């Protein structure tokens, strides 16, 4: 489709360890339209961040390797490109806001130097013009005294300011796709709200699509147009955000939504999903979620359910919605 910016088909990213093969991403498919915000949701270890690293071709090899599938971004088949061609795309067409800016920013270089580096590389500006643009970017993300902060080091800024600087770096080349990997995890609630408001405003100003990786369903409800729910390396449900929250179909999605605290809820204890995420080296034979599922049937223990459309535009991988073809 002409309106699709990102098309991921049957992506498989495996890690080869001494103990065996970890199928971190196993047959994942989804699309991101131009100007759309898509949320990738799931518990820690479900494959969200590895999916984003696969899109950037930044999976550490060894031990990781993209073993199958297809990734198309703005008409370019990412897996067919050389490393030199990928370097021109990273930071220019695709940018990432990482989870913890203190480990992503280089402590020995100023904020301005790190933003200018990307601008000079991809935009072809000289040092003076790049610094002017870096100051503009810092102002755009709401950093006061941007002309002074541009010469500051990461340790001199607060957590919220560092995250804003990371966003300024990510948007400095007007990327077509912005990958936000848990962008508010390490921040307090007030700063979280400011960062989300900032991302929403920037999306309107620069017109980027956003791939938002998070486990926070409140952030998903506030930011996303479409949601992809992952569990143990597979997509178990995907739908429009309103449809998913109103009418979740997969038992795992239902469990996630029921375990979210609600204001004025008369409950002594929060609901929780029983059991634990399976060991990726010893996954169940059938549906990976069946040991934790209260709707488990015999077929769930032996066969993987396909991801199928259960309502118009709403897909789920669950045997509750029909037997084998």
Owning domain of residue 47:
4-93+175-321
**Farthest-apart Cα atoms in the chain, separation:** 67
Predicted pLDDT at 265: 60
Question: Edge-to-edge strand order for the sheet containing 64-73?
Answer: 20-33, 4-17, 64-73, 76-77
- Which pairs count as long-range contacts for 219-223, CB under 8 Å and 24+ apart, including other chains? 219/39, 219/184, 219/192, 220/39, 220/41, 221/245, 222/196, 223/37, 223/39, 223/196, 223/199
Examine the pLDDT at 117 and tell me if it is beyond 90.
Answer: no
Q: What pLDDT digit, counting tens, does each position of 217-244 carry?
A: 888 988 899 999 999 999 999 999 999 9
Per-residue pLDDT tens for 138-163? 888 888 888 899 999 999 988 788 88
Same-domain status, 183 and 271: yes
Asked if residue 165 and residue 121 are part of one domain, the reply reads yes
In whole numbers, what is the pLDDT of the chain averaged over residues?
87
* 272 — pLDDT class (breaks 50, 70, 90): confident
Is the domain of 257 the same as that of 125? Answer: no
**pLDDT tier at 184 (50, 70, 90 boundaries)?**
confident
Residues in the chain: 325
Please, which pLDDT band fits residue 2 given cuts at 50, 70 and 90?
A: low
What does the pLDDT average to over 154-179? 85
Q: What is the per-residue pLDDT for 96?
A: 86
Q: Which pLDDT value is given to residue 253?
A: 93
In degrees and rounded to multiples of 5, residue 124 shows phi and psi of 70, 25
Last residue of some domain: 126, 142, 174? 174
* H or E, element range at 190: helix 189-206
Q: Does pLDDT of 324 surpass 70? A: no
pLDDT tens for 59-116 read 988 899 999 999 999 888 999 999 888 888 887 888 888 776 667 788 899 999 988 9
80/197 same-domain check = yes
CATH of residue 237: 3.40.50.300
Structural domains counted in the chain: 2
């Amino acid at each position: 489709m002409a309106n699709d910016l990102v098309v991921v088909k049957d992506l498989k990213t495996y890690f080869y360890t001494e103990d065996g093969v970890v199928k971190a991403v196993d047959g994942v498919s989804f699309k991101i339209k131009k100007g759309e915000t898509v949320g990738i949701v799931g518990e820690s270890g479900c494959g969200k961040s590895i999916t984003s690293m696969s899109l950037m071709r930044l999976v550490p090899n060894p031990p990781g390797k993209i073993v199958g599938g297809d990734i198309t971004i703005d008409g370019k088949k990412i897996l067919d490109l050389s490393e030199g061609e990928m370097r021109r795309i990273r930071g220019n067409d695709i940018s990432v806001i990482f989870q913890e800016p203190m480990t992503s920013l280089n402590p020995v270089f100023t904020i301005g130097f790190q933003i200018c580096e990307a601008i000079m590389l991809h935009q072809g500006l000289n040092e003076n013009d790049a610094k002017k643009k870096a100051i503009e970017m810092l102002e755009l993300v709401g950093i006061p005294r941007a002309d002074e902060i541009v010469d500051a080091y990461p340790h001199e800024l607060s957590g919220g300011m560092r995250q804003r600087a990371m966003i300024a770096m990510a948007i400095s080349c007007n990327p077509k796709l912005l990958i936000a990997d848990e962008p508010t995890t390490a921040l307090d609630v007030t700063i979280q709200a400011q960062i989300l408001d900032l991302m929403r405003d920037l999306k309107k100003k620069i017109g980027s699509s956003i791939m938002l990786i998070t486990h926070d369903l409140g952030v998903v409800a506030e930011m996303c147009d479409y949601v992809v729910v992952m569990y143990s390396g597979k997509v178990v449900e995907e739908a429009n955000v309103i449809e998913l929250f109103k009418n979740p179909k997969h038992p795992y999605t239902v469990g996630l939504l029921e375990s979210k605290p609600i204001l004025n809820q008369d409950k002594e204890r929060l609901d929780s999903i029983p059991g634990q995420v399976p060991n990726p080296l010893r996954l169940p034979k059938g549906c990976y979620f069946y040991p934790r599922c209260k709707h488990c049937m015999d077929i769930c223990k032996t066969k993987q359910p396909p991801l199928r459309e259960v309502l118009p535009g709403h897909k789920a991988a669950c045997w509750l919605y029909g037997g084998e073809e």
